[in-house]
Structure 1
Amino acid sequence: MSIIIYHNAKCSKSNIALKEITQSGEAFEVVNYLDDVPSIEELKGILSKLNLKPLDLVRKTEKVYLEKFKGEDLSDDEWIKALHENPILIQRPIIVNGEKAVIARSEEAINSII
């Protein structure tokens, strides 16, 4: 089973996670999620593996969040649609390994999944 990293090359944390996976020797796939946007079903699967609600996956410092979504009371399905339509809002990097996933912003999180 291959590891998948949802990666943004402009993000230092994402680049660190990619380097760690590369050095691990494990087989992996890179998904540049800003270009290859996860479908709504993929997002639901990722959220399930992360055991998070959609709002927990939202980057609340992004301009698009502040301009369009801050203070909005959206349903889970509406947040998933917002993440799909505005992938810059998705926390990064996300590493999926089988039925588990983590938001890999720390070395501990990275090591827990690879």
Structure 2
Amino acid sequence: MKDAILHNPRCSKSREALKLLRERGIELPVLEYLQQPLSKHELRELCALLGVKPLELVRTKEELFGELGLAKDNGYSDAQWLDVLASHPKLLERPIVVYRGRAAVGRPPEKVLDLL
């Protein structure tokens, strides 16, 4: 996966992470993932870079999670959770920064600085 920040401009944590990077002179491509959703393949790559299971990137407290009748213990496979994320990018944790072959979730935003 190429260097980028997966960004939602409406999210304060995402805006903070982007600002932190820019203050340090790091200009990454900004991927507004709600406008340009990641494919299942890209999501799989992202999970590998982060060293997490797809479920760990799901925003389970997002209202849409409940509206879709999802539950953390529903027995979904990793492939099924990737399908959920690919179909409903709003459920993807944010922000996520990919930089030089590594990735970090910016929760809190300062965690993205670990990549520098």
CA RMSD of aligned residues (A): 1.4
Equivalences for 1:63-74 in 2 at 5 Å?
63-68=63-68, 69-70=70-71, 71-74=73-76
State, as a whole percentage, how many aligned pairs show the same letter.
35
23-32 or 89-98: which moved more? 23-32
TM superposition shift of 1:72: 2.3
Q: Which runs of 4+ in 1 moved over 4 A?
A: none
The answer for the alignment partner of 1:82 in structure 2 is 84
22-31 or 34-43: which moved more? 22-31
Distance 1:55 1:110 in 2: 20
CA contact (8 A) 1:6 1:94 kept: yes
Q: How big is each residue's C-alpha offset from its partner over 1:65-109, in whole Å with a ceiling of 9 and x where there is no partner?
A: 112212522110000010000001000000001221010122441
Distance 1:111 1:105 in 2: 11
24-33 or 87-96: which moved more? 24-33
Residues matched between the structures, number: 113
Q: Structure 1: which 5+ residue stretches go unaligned?
A: none
With the length of structure 1 as denominator, give the TM-score of the two structures.
0.92
Distance 1:60 1:50 in 2: 18
With the length of structure 2 as denominator, give the TM-score of the two structures.
0.90
TM superposition shift of 1:54: 0.4
